[in-house]
Chain A
Amino acid sequence: MKMEFQVARDDYLSAGKVSSQIKQTLKQIGYPNELLRRMAVACYEAEINMIIHSYGGTIRLLIEEDGRIQMIFSDTGPGIADLEQAMTPGFSTASEKAREFGFGAGMGLPNIQRVSDHFDILTSHEGTTLTLGFELDP
C-alpha cells in the first residue's frame, strides 16, 4: 500500500495534517497504539521540518506486506548545512517566525531518530531525503 502527500513551505497552519491522516489510516488498519504514537511523533517532526526549513516536498507512506512501515520525506532543498549540528539536541536554525509558532526547540531530528527503528538521511543543496522505518516487533 502506498500513499503520497504534498507539503508546502511555510504552511504553518496546516502543520500536522499529514501526520494526522497517516496516523488515522494506520489506526484503521489496526496497528498497535505504541507504534502509532512513535510514528506520529516522527511524522509530525519531519513534516514540521519540511514546512520550516525546506522549499516544500513530498511525504510517502509505504506499508509492506509483512506490516513494516516506511516513511520517506523528500524535499527540494536547500539541504542541511551541517548534519552533525542538526542532529545535536538543542541546536536549531529555525527562523523568528517559526519560533513564534513554538518551533525551534532543536529537538526535531533527535526526536525522530529516538522513536524510529530505522533512520537514514541524505542531504545536499538540491534537497534532503529522510527515510524512516518502523517494525511491528523492533
Chain B
Amino acid sequence: MTLKQLVERTGWEPLVLTEEDREVTGGFSGDLLSWVMGHGEAGQVWVTVQTHLNVVAVAVLREFSCLIIANDAEISEEMLNRAKEEQLNVLCCHETAFEACRKLIEAGL
C-alpha cells in the first residue's frame, strides 16, 4: 500500500506528506526510542505518542515510511519543521495507539 492510499483509507490528517507514493511495508508501535530503534524495520509506519525532536531523528535513521502521532498528542512547530527538513512524512490521528493500529490493520496493512 502507498502512503496516499493509507491516508485515503484512514482519513487521518497529513501534517507533512513529501512522498505520497512511498510504499508502506508494515507498522510498529512504541514510545521507548531504543526499543523502536532496535526492533523497527525500514518502510514501516511508526505509531507513537512521543512528539519531541528525537522522534524525528529515530524515524529518519530507521527509515520509517511515516510517523503517526496518535491520541491527539500535542505536536510542536519545532518538530514539524524538523520533519519537513528531513522530509519525514507525519500523520496525526484522534485514536489511541491501540485503535490506530487496529485501523491500520483494517485498512489492509
Interface residues of A (CB under 8 A from B): 12-13, 15-17, 19-20, 23, 33, 37, 40-41, 44-45, 48, 101-108, 110-111, 114
B104 at the interface (CB under 8 A from A): no
Max chain B C-beta neighbours (<10 A), residue from A13, A16, A41, A107: A16
Q: Please name the residue on chain B nearest to A16 by beta carbon.
A: B57
Q: Is the interface of B mostly helix, strand, loop or mixed?
A: helix
Q: Point out residues on B near A: beta carbons under 8 Å.
A: 31-35, 37-38, 42, 50, 52-58, 60-63
Chain A to chain B: the 9 pairs with minimum beta-carbon distance, closest first = A16-B57, A105-B32, A107-B34, A105-B34, A111-B38, A102-B33, A40-B61, A105-B35, A102-B50
CA distance A18 to B100 in the complex (A): 32
Query: What are 13 A-B contacts defined by CB distance under 8 Å?
Result: A12-B52, A15-B57, A16-B61, A33-B42, A41-B37, A45-B37, A101-B33, A102-B33, A102-B50, A102-B54, A103-B34, A105-B33, A107-B35
The main secondary structure of chain A at its interface with chain B is helix
The residue in chain B whose Cβ has the minimal distance to the Cβ of A104 is B32
The answer on a CB contact under 8 Å between B37 and A16 is: no
Provide the bound-state CA to CA distance between A103 and B54, in Å.
9
Cβ A44 vs Cβ B57 within 8 A: yes
Q: How far is the CA of A110 from the CA of B50 in the complex (A)?
A: 23
